[in-house]
Amino acid sequence: MSNPLLQDSPLPAFSDIKPEHVEPALDFLLRENRRRIADLLQDGTVNQTQFLLSMEQWDDELTKLWAPISHLNGVKNSDALRDVYNCCLPKLTEYSTEMGQNTRLYEQYESVLENADAANISAAQRKAVENSLRDFKLSGIALESEKQVRFGDIKKRLAELSTQFSNNVLDATQGWTKHILDKQLLEGIPDNVLQLYRQTAAEKGLAGYVVSLDVPAYLPLMQYCANAELRKEMYIAFTTRASDQGPEAGTWDNSPLMDEILKLRHEMSHLLGFANYAEYSLATKMAETPKQVEGFLIDLVEKSLPVAKKDYEELSAFASGEGTATLCAWDIPYFSEKLRLHKYSISQEELRCYFPADKVIGGMFTVVNRLYSIEITEASSETWHPDVKFFHVLKDGILIAKFYLDIFARDHKRGGAWMADCRVRRRLPDGHLQLPVAFLTCNFSSPTADTPSLLTHAEVTTLFHEFGHGLHHMLTNIECAAVSGINGVAWDAVELPSQFLENWCWDREAIPLISGHYQTGEPLPGELLKKLLEAKNFQSGLQMMRQLEFALFDLRMHLNYSAESPVNIQEVLDDVRGQVAVYPVPDINRFQHGFSHVFAGGYAAGYYSYKWAEILSADAFSRFEEEGVFNAETGNSFLTEILQKGGSCSPMELFVNFRGREPNADALLRHSGIIGTGDLR
């Protein structure tokens, strides 16, 4: 079949991929996989190793077909691609459910495990089989046929709802802009941001300025614009996206989708014998029970809330001194930035000129070279947009991985930042090694006619975070796809490598490597570096409580749902805010309608994972604080004990192997300034 999506190539041929290719290619491969698996199960002579290799090969073929389609749907969205993506997603879900409920396939995996010693399978393969048997049970293998059908229908509908939720958020974000002709309305906003607004207006054929709801445009306005009414208008537009409120009320309303998602998640988990979706979610995580997770979060609340209240009292007093007696939600970013400048004489915008994107990227590569002895070089390859760069990763002169880097915000690109796998490392049937390939995506400001792309320090941290995920995927030495790289890693441990790498954004030895004034090349001056480090834990209590609010809301929304008494999503959020929020949130705010992590991503009843993994990452970094942040031996230990092992062992076992003990929260609380500032180096 002549279809670019069915060509077995090391990398996707993006320019050859057209929407009309997608469905025929997927249909062909799904038919082929069904036939091959049926033939394999009929063959009474197939040995255990050959069975595992065949299943891995066919799964990988499907992954390699779908990975570029899923990625393009996020970074180069179009009506035609969206339509075919939405058409194909139920087919993938149906296939996955069908395989997960295939009794003969399940029995074959059981047989592999029972005869693992005789079959001489590797430890990684054994772990992959154990995970597969667990996932069969979570796919309804033990259900009666009628309930299996219902389970499959639920999975298919949930996939459709999640995709529609994400589409609504994207459409709502791009569906509202503010056209401004009077520059005085933008008083206080830095020149480089104004230049971005002018460029956006020019691209639309308009005079003056255009402000969008994309974060690189929205956030600076909220932080620097002196006009409170404009801040209020932007805040309402942003926090009511895809909801029943705000300037586009009802246009892309996610309300009915969210209710249906919760209803179906509960029904699905109940079919499998779980009391609620929170229990179902934890079946594949480090944490064992919802009670344990809630206790973990409440413990952090109790330790952090007093600090957050002091942060807010300080901010309120400062704003009052500036003539604003009552802080509104749209005032908080503005006065927070003014207070930061007042206390530390430093602002995110002031730092931008020292963090041109190319310098940060090159410095980041130097950091990981010193940690893990890897070389990263730019290479040539076809991409989906001229801004995208492509790199090779080498160790000891040998190519071990590749990745695409797409960092600029643009139309038809989903907001946020993420890492996704394009190819997974595995040993092929012919003996060759398939190298891992990653997609790394951010949404930073593009270069303008006068300046390169300049990052805030917060954006630098985001870049390091996503690259940490990428390294987890790319530096693995596991050759079994199901537990190679990020595959098979418990969801509440998968953020460990990403949060861990963020620490070098704050280190005195590392910052000169990642900074350099875009005009002079001068690294961040010592005085600014001192201020940056002093300001590291500015409002850390408020930031901690914000994440805990999201995590508790997510957990309780899924934990307290019942068929007899479905939760009211807004009421759950209001109750959580009543317990943990430090300042009032306007009634019009519909944060939950854009909470893609939970309603369109993999974090449902698992948003706590960020804080859970942050304890792991902070404690892991504390070993570097003790032994040296660029200690080659310590870096190699993290590489070999954590990054290279992927999902082949339990995350607790890997952590103990690296740290010499189980984790504790002290390092996180110290790094966050909750129990002291710690060593700022």
Q: Give yes or no for a contact between 442 and 357, defined as CB atoms under 8 angstroms apart.
A: no
Cα three-residue angle 407-218-507, rounded to 5 degrees:
55
Helix runs in 373-447, H state only: none
Cα–Cα distance, 422 to 420 (Å, whole number): 7
User: Residue written as tokens 């369109």?
Assistant: 600
Q: Of 3, 2, 132, which is closest to residue 55 (Cα–Cα)?
A: 132
CA dihedral 271, 272, 277, 283 (to 10 degrees): -170
For residue 356, list its beta bridge partners: 454
Q: Of 443, 219, 427, which is closest to residue 330 (Cα–Cα)?
A: 219
Cα–Cα distance, 440 to 391 (Å, whole number): 11
Q: Is 433 helix (H, G, I), strand (E, B) or coil?
A: strand
Q: Kind and range of the H or E element at 400? A: strand 398-408
Contacts with 520 (C-beta within 8 Å, 6 or more apart), sequence order: none
Any idea what DSSP says for residue 158? H
Cα–Cα distance, 617 to 499 (Å, whole number): 6
Q: Of 659, 548, 567, 673, which is closest to residue 607 (Cα–Cα)?
A: 548
Any idea what DSSP says for residue 1? -
User: Residue written as tokens 């005032």?
Assistant: 331
Q: Of 52, 42, 24, which is closest to residue 115 (Cα–Cα)?
A: 52
For every residue of 516-556, DSSP letters joined together read --TTT-PPPPHHHHHHHHHTTTTTHHHHHHHHHHHHHHHHH
Q: 361: which 2 tokens?
A: 């990227």
Quote the distance between the C-alpha of residue 127 and its chain's center.
25
Any idea what DSSP says for residue 445? P
User: Crossing angle of helices 290-321/609-627, nearest 10°?
Assistant: 80
Cα–Cα distance, 366 to 635 (Å, whole number): 13
Q: Give yes or no for a contact between 169 and 162, defined as CB atoms under 8 angstroms apart.
A: no
Cα–Cα distance, 498 to 613 (Å, whole number): 9
Q: Which residues are catalytic?
A: 466
User: Residue written as tokens 């809330």?
Assistant: 305
Cα–Cα distance, 440 to 418 (Å, whole number): 6
Q: 17: which 2 tokens?
A: 């991929």
User: Residue written as tokens 């009843």?
Assistant: 605
Q: Give yes or no for a contact between 612 and 665, defined as CB atoms under 8 angstroms apart.
A: no
Q: Of 661, 615, 618, 620, which is closest to residue 299 (Cα–Cα)?
A: 615
Backbone angles phi, psi at 263, to 5 degrees: -60, -45
Within a 10 A sphere around the Cβ of 234, how many other Cβ atoms? 23
Within a 10 A sphere around the Cβ of 576, how many other Cβ atoms? 20
